[in-house]
Amino acid sequence: MKTIMKTLFVAVSSLSLMFSVNAGELSVNGTAKATYSIVNGSQQEPGVGITNELNFTASGEMDNGYAWNYSMELDPDSTDGSSLNDDTQIGLTLNEMGTIKVCVSECSNNKKYAWDQSAYTVVTDTGLSSGIVYPASELTHNTIQYHTPELPFGTTATVAWGNTHKVASSGNQVGDAGTNSITAYSLVTKPVDGLTVSGSAYSIADFDDGIVTEQQTEDGGAWAVTYAMGNVTAGYGKSYKSPETTDTIATGTAVEYHENTGMSIAMAINDDVSISYSAEESSAKQRTSTNVVYDVSVDSLQVAYSMGGATLSLARSEFDNIAYANGDDRTETIIAMSFAF
């Protein structure tokens, strides 16, 4: 027994010497935000709320010069406000060879909002849902990703693969039976000063259940161009999604794909005040024209005032034909006070 214990001790010690890691550092950061939201056009009272997001990060270096990092976010649940550990990632930086990541409900490389320059928040990412159908992202899956190092012209690229996720997936846990998988790509390049071009694409590999035959499997993507000149930044972009469907080509209500178009312009009045105007429109492109569909449109005017450790923001947005329904129009006003730490 003593001989066996000594052998195991020597083996473990040898592995520790080969793969030793310097002690990492742990830090906590996040945001605390209080909001007052008013929605006109619906039978809802103004809402008062607090959003708190904590991000626990750790990092360290290995003896071979590689670096590692870990991130875990605690977000409030939308139903009862309890905190959820639903966004986690581990990254291993291989120096000039790039970075490998393992992500649970995290690490989205989707460029659907890359055009948006809003002073407060993305125009369609607030408490009032526009009902716009967007391309999916890696957030809906548990993925393994590869990120290139920075290439000429400030270019970076990613490739990711994963299965439909289980929230807060733990180690040694298998995925759900019969779930789809995603393969996703992204590219960002900065060929000239001030100009950024972004793109992303993905496809869903449908699980063959042998029961139904899909007439169309899901895929999609997005691209955007932004340009900054002095204190003004403008952006324009499009995103697409072809949904999975079992409807036949002749079905009048079948949507072949959704097409979204966004434009945004922002100006820094001074070091403390920024204003922006953003607009987005979404169309549901059907395979036939046997029925009428309506486009969703959103316009938003926002202003943000920085007061050192706090930011006061005001956003006024108009929504037309929410969820592609004719006449479902709303107006949303948000006043927010944000603190970063």
Q: What is the pLDDT of residue 219?
A: 93
Centre a 10 Å sphere on the Cβ of residue 230 and count the other Cβ atoms it contains: 8
Structure tokens at 336: 């927010």
Strands 83-93 vs 273-286: parallel, antiparallel or unpaired: unpaired
Residue 8 lies in a domain: no
Which has the closest alpha carbon to 34: 48, 21, 44? 48
Q: What is the pLDDT of residue 105?
A: 83
Residue 82 lies in a domain: yes
Mean pLDDT (the chain, rounded) = 84
Residue 20 lies in a domain: no
Centre a 10 Å sphere on the Cβ of residue 332 and count the other Cβ atoms it contains: 22
Residue 1 lies in a domain: no
Q: What is the pLDDT of residue 216?
A: 79
Centre a 10 Å sphere on the Cβ of residue 301 and count the other Cβ atoms it contains: 17
Compute the CA torsion angle 135, 149, 228, 134 (nearest 10 deg): 0
Residue 219 lies in a domain: yes
Residue 268 lies in a domain: yes
Please state the domain count of the chain: 1
Residue 42 lies in a domain: yes
Query: Which CATH number is 97's domain given?
Result: 2.40.160.10
Q: What is the pLDDT of residue 272?
A: 96
Which has the closest alpha carbon to 57: 93, 28, 21, 82? 28
Residue 3 lies in a domain: no
For 285-298, b where at least 16 C-beta lie within 10 A, e where not — what string? ebbeeeeeebebbb
Q: What is the pLDDT of residue 199?
A: 98
Alpha-carbon distance values, 160 to 21, 26, 141, 163 (Å): 26, 27, 10, 10
- Which regions of the chain are under pLDDT 70? 1-24, 43, 76-86, 165-178, 208-212, 247-252, 289-290
Q: What is the pLDDT of residue 264?
A: 97
pTM, whole model, 2 decimals?
0.83
Contact 203, 183 (CB under 8 A): yes
pLDDT tens column, 170-229: 666 666 666 788 999 999 999 999 999 999 999 998 776 555 677 778 899 999 999 999
| Beta bridge partners of residue 293, listed in sequence order | none
Q: What is the pLDDT of residue 6?
A: 44
Residue-range definition of the domain harbouring residue 39 = 26-340
For 253-274, b where at least 16 C-beta lie within 10 A, e where not — what string? ebbbbbbbbbbbbbbbeeeeeb
